Structure 1
Amino acid sequence: MRDRLKDVYNVVQEVNVLDSQDAANLALLARPELGVTFTKLHCWRLVQFEKCVFLDADTLVLKNCDELFEREELSAAPDVSWPDCFNSGVFVFTPSVDTFTKITEFAVQNGSFDGGDQGLLNQYFGDWATADIKKHLPFVYNVTAYASYCYLPAFKQFRDKIKILHFAGKLKPWLIQFNSQTKTAATPNEYAHAQDLIQHWWTIFCDNVHQSLTDNMAGLAGALAQLRIGVQRTPEQEQYENLMRRQCWESGQIDYAGVDAFDNIWKKITQTLEAKPDKEAETGSS
């Protein structure tokens, strides 16, 4: 996997905080619940760069965002759930070992109010909401893909201006049921407003990523490598996609309008009941 990533990125730096003998590892002994948070903090150690923009793995860049490098630390967009806090899925920062050490020490002493990196960073950069409006990124740089009744009209109105889409929460494109033969994603009804954007993620995956994956890769990458894109599905392929569909179901991503429609569920229940052995008949025959 590292070799494949090196074909795409200029720098591939492995971060494994549990094995590193540094300040974060020592702090982890005192605050083990912040393990994932400390992993993100390592971005401040990229001191070979003057300015950086952090992007969560569940973001999708839709337009050029080079102008972000003109912003100062710490610049971020408001979080939709509490706009006086920033969302830590996208932020501009200045690498510094000193800053890394200070945030690590702050984490050990104060923890995180939400148990993750977003709560910690909002506590450390506590004046973000009031000190400098220039550090407030426009929402188009970190638009959450889910919608509520209060901002769905705005999502539709300004969708063409979105620069970075953030699949925050349960909505992850790679967990949505995908038909490898037709190359289409079965977007749940509650995310219909973002159907084309979810499909865009899968199109990028099919065109630019899938051919770089191999079966001997670990985890999700190895599983996705088994997809046979654009061809008739084999029994093994259908078995794999049924497994993915079950994972989608268990994570709340249910295709009510498709395979998981009520008629199909009722049909399966009926078939199961009809196939059940008649215990009374078995008892009588014995």
Structure 2
Amino acid sequence: MKKVLVMIIVLCSLKSMAQCVQCYSDFTFVPGTNASVLGTNTHAAWHSSLAFGYQSTALGIYSVSIGKNVNVSNTSFAFVRDIAASAMNSMIIGVGYTSSSIMTDDIQKSIMLGVYNSQPSIIIRQMSMQDLPANVGIGTIEPKQQLHINGNTLISGTNKSFLFANTSTFEGEFGIQYNDDGLNFFLPNDGTPTNYLVFVNDDGNIGFGKNNPNERIDVNGTAKATKIIASTSIQAASLNVVGLSNIGSLQVSGNITFSALSGESSKAIVVDTNFYQLLISPYRELLRIVDIEKDSVIYHSAIIKYYEIGSVN
């Protein structure tokens, strides 16, 4: 008997019409054909629409509105609070800023997600042809690429790499990873940074072909440059200058210091030199040049002083 009474109460509360279902409450109505409502101040206004919650409105055909202060247009879906889907074939899930500053998806064929904001945090949007993948935007409603981030990005964890590839290989063909106190640009090997193309250390030093560079530029290999400008000094175990054909090809504004060359201090070794191309300025003794003849190890020394351009005897 009790079960029968319960069924009668439920049937009385749920008014079943030919083309709609409605749970009664103040200002709740279903003028749409095959529409349904549930809650307070809900409104399902068009064919096969559904409105649940408080002040939830489904105005368009096949639209679904669930939550508080939610409004939906044609063939769209909205869920949670203070949001609206005003464009056709749109979907929004989230919480708007306030009831007077709602978050709205007004872009057709899009999905928006957001929390406590009048603008969405994430949008998935079809930007071009049907057979192309949709673009995902974070912090922007107009993503230009498949992933478009307007703002800062934080990558954390033990495997924090960007891998690039033209194929679907797991390890990729080029990688960028924060590793060993620096940022490493590397060629992946099974997804791990086992080599160093360019390494930017935390202290600002840059290594080419090595990690943990000791200088601002630390090259593990041969470096080639059209021009090198040093404001203080250039230090090298050996310095080989080739291809000097004109006066002024090798220019030094300060002093050149040679230490213990061939067992002699303050001497420079010049192979097959033409002394008439040597420019010495200012006019005073700068250094002693030792000429090593190519065919025999015979040393000829000369003091260069008071000459700007001229031969040396």
Higher gyration radius (CA): 2
Same fold (TM over 0.5): no
Higher relative contact order (CA 8 A, sep 6+): 1
Structure with more of its chain in helix, by fraction? 1
- TM-score in terms of structure 2 length: 0.21
* TM-score (normalizing by structure 1): 0.22
